[in-house]
Amino acid sequence: TVKEARHDVRKFPDGFQFGAATASYQVEGAWDADGKSPNIWDHMTHNDPCSIDDCKNGDIADDFYNQYKRDVEMMRELGLDFYRFSLSWSRILPTSFPDKINEAGVQYYNNLINEMLKYNIQPMVTIYHWDLPQKLQEMGGWTNPHIVDWFSDYARVAFELFGDRVKNWITINEPREICYQGYGTVTKAPKLNIQGVAEYMCAKNVLVAHAKAYHIYDKEFRPTHGGTIGITLSALWYEPETESDVELAEVVRQFEWGQYAHPVFSKTGDFPPVMKEKIAAKSAAQGFKRSRLPEFTSEEVEMVRGSSDFFGLNHYTTNLVYKNESLEGYYDVPSYYDNIEAKLYQPSHWSAGASVWMKDVPWGFYNLLTKIREDYDNPPVFITENGYSTRGGLDDDDRITYIRGYLNVILDAIEEGSDIPVYTVWSLMDNFEWMRGYTERFGLYEVDYESPQRTRTPRKSAFVFKEIVRSRALDPHYDTFILALLSC
């Protein structure tokens, strides 16, 4: 189903919140400053620099560690209600554990939070956005069940240090990218490449770790601090290519994001039934003694179920799904895609951004928002990331088209009953785009990586976004209006 775009002036509901996001490793730099210890991205980029497209790293990145006052100024320029950033675990806890708290690292986050609050910009804090302390990785990282304690101890420290001022918490950003990309393949650190096995151990531990942190906040901190806490999942929309692919597309959705959403947001909890069945059957046929998908105990099912005050959603694009008869031999076995027996693709006529996966498909977002409303009993959906990549330059009309199109379908979904009170654009400014280094740019502000201060300059999209936030409306005439303003 393809939703037609509307072109009238549309108001956002009262209380709708606009923000922008970044993540620690992608912007902070100061990789070894003031007692911070190395994380898996420091380790990988230093030991294997050209695992990154441009062989660069986040040693300095946007120098957010030192330039944060300029960045708060940018948040004010945009008129943001809130700003989403993440904490660096090994900056706060250099041993990875709460035996030693690094005061300098804590001071940095206090300075940032206080500077934002001075201007009434609310912090939305992600506790973990992919920069695992290297020491913990050496002990198995997210495949080691002890990480449930490691992570929840760290989360408690964060609540204790910042909970008096931070009222919006996200435990973990995008389990799928942590587990599938980092443990199942080589597309994120630590590049374990143990597909169909390590990624599922990771999935279980991430969910239980998240839930434990949620319950700590709920019991020990919420009574005094108020506040909300949840998990952020990445989800693409998967559209069947033809009628005969309808069921298959649903299987893909359950593997891709139902894997994480079903345990937390469904009435029954646990991994999606279709995932459990398929992986158990494949595992048996392949000679494994038990399913490659680990089981939750019934206590764990209960602990994870309902452990999020909102559905944190990062959404970027859409894929088509079809069944290919010649699939045999196409994928490694065991593997994630072998489990699903589907192929995914994006037609070449879809409007494309700089990232290979980036296509501008707003109707897919509409279908996804509708499905989340229907499948999980209309949870509050916080859009914690949405944005578009270019190769740089201040004239970013494609980004403007993308953001406006995606905001438009948010309004459609709200009209049809979805509860979507929060929108976060990725990103405030260009930053270290993981394996793509600095070759892909997501910022409303351009960052000059040749200048020592990493000078930030607003793109055209920054002016348009500012006007959307100011007017709390989408108006098809902005573009020309802003152009006129910019040229005088």
CA 323, CA 242: separation in Å to the nearest integer?
A: 10
Residue 237 vs 478, nearer CB to ligand PNW: 237
57 binds ligand PNW (CB under 6 A): no
318 binds ligand PNW (CB under 6 A): no
**Cα 239 versus chain centre, distance:** 21
**Short-list 47, 40, 49, 42, CA closest to 138:** 40
**Residues sharing a CB contact under 8 Å with residue 4, sequence separation 6 or more, in sequence order:** none
330 binds ligand PNW (CB under 6 A): no
Residue 12 vs 180, nearer CB to ligand PNW: 180
Among 81, 174, 360, 430, binds ligand PNW (CB under 6 A): 174
Among 67, 152, 317, 339, binds ligand PNW (CB under 6 A): 317
CA 263, CA 63: separation in Å to the nearest integer?
A: 38
- Label residues 210-234 b or e (16+ Cβ within 10 Å = b): bbbbbebbeeebbeebebbbbbbbb
Among 173, 370, 408, 461, binds ligand PNW (CB under 6 A): 173
Least distance in angstroms from the C-beta of 426 to ligand PNW: 5
CA 311, CA 320: separation in Å to the nearest integer?
A: 24
H-only helix segments in 229-361? 246-253, 259-265, 273-286, 298-304, 336-340
Site for ligand PNW, residues 416 to 445, rule: CB under 6 A: 426, 433, 442
20 binds ligand PNW (CB under 6 A): no
- Residue 138 annotated among the catalytic residues of the structure: no
Size of the site for ligand PNW (CB under 6 A): 15
Tokens matching residue 429: 């400014």
β partners of residue 172: 128
Residue 398 vs 433, nearer CB to ligand PNW: 433
Residue 334 vs 353, nearer CB to ligand PNW: 353
H-only helix segments in 48-86? 64-78
Residue 17 vs 24, nearer CB to ligand PNW: 24
Question: Among 239, 256, 385, 446, which one carries the catalytic annotation?
Answer: 385
Among 63, 81, 199, 385, binds ligand PNW (CB under 6 A): 385
Residue 106 vs 251, nearer CB to ligand PNW: 251
390 binds ligand PNW (CB under 6 A): no
365 binds ligand PNW (CB under 6 A): no
Residue 296 vs 438, nearer CB to ligand PNW: 438
Least distance in angstroms from the C-beta of 367 to ligand PNW: 15
Least distance in angstroms from the C-beta of 173 to ligand PNW: 5
Whether residue 358 contacts residue 352, with contact meaning beta carbons closer than 8 Å, is answered with yes
39 binds ligand PNW (CB under 6 A): no
CA 108, CA 118: separation in Å to the nearest integer?
A: 15
53 binds ligand PNW (CB under 6 A): no
Check residue 393 and give left, alpha or beta (phi > 0: left; psi -120 to 50: alpha).
left
Of 34-42, 237-245, 309-317, 362-370, the window that binds ligand PNW (rule: CB under 6 A) is 309-317
**Cα 241 versus chain centre, distance:** 26
Residue 330 vs 357, nearer CB to ligand PNW: 357
CA 365, CA 361: separation in Å to the nearest integer?
A: 7
Residue 389 exposed, middle or buried by CB count within 10 Å (0-12, 13-18, 19+): buried
Of 99-107, 169-177, 405-413, 461-469, the window that binds ligand PNW (rule: CB under 6 A) is 169-177
Question: Among 174, 199, 433, 446, which one carries the catalytic annotation?
Answer: 174
Computed from CA positions of residues 99, 199, 259, 409, in that sequence, does the dihedral angle turn out positive or negative? positive
Of 57-65, 288-296, 310-318, 449-457, the window that binds ligand PNW (rule: CB under 6 A) is 310-318
Among 195, 234, 308, 367, binds ligand PNW (CB under 6 A): 234
177 binds ligand PNW (CB under 6 A): yes
**Short-list 484, 486, 477, CA closest to 459:** 486
**Cα 336 versus chain centre, distance:** 21
Least distance in angstroms from the C-beta of 129 to ligand PNW: 6
23 binds ligand PNW (CB under 6 A): yes
Least distance in angstroms from the C-beta of 300 to ligand PNW: 26
357 binds ligand PNW (CB under 6 A): yes
Residue 12 vs 365, nearer CB to ligand PNW: 365
189 binds ligand PNW (CB under 6 A): no
Tokens matching residue 383: 């859009």
- Residue 241 annotated among the catalytic residues of the structure: no
Of 149-157, 173-181, 283-291, 325-333, the window that binds ligand PNW (rule: CB under 6 A) is 173-181
CA 56, CA 36: separation in Å to the nearest integer?
A: 20
Whether residue 384 contacts residue 232, with contact meaning beta carbons closer than 8 Å, is answered with yes
Residue keyed to tokens 């088509």:
320
Classified as helix, coil or strand, 394 is coil
Give the residues lining the site for ligand PNW (CB under 6 A). 23, 26, 173-174, 177, 234, 236, 314, 316-317, 357, 385, 426, 433, 442
Active site (catalytic) residues: 174, 385
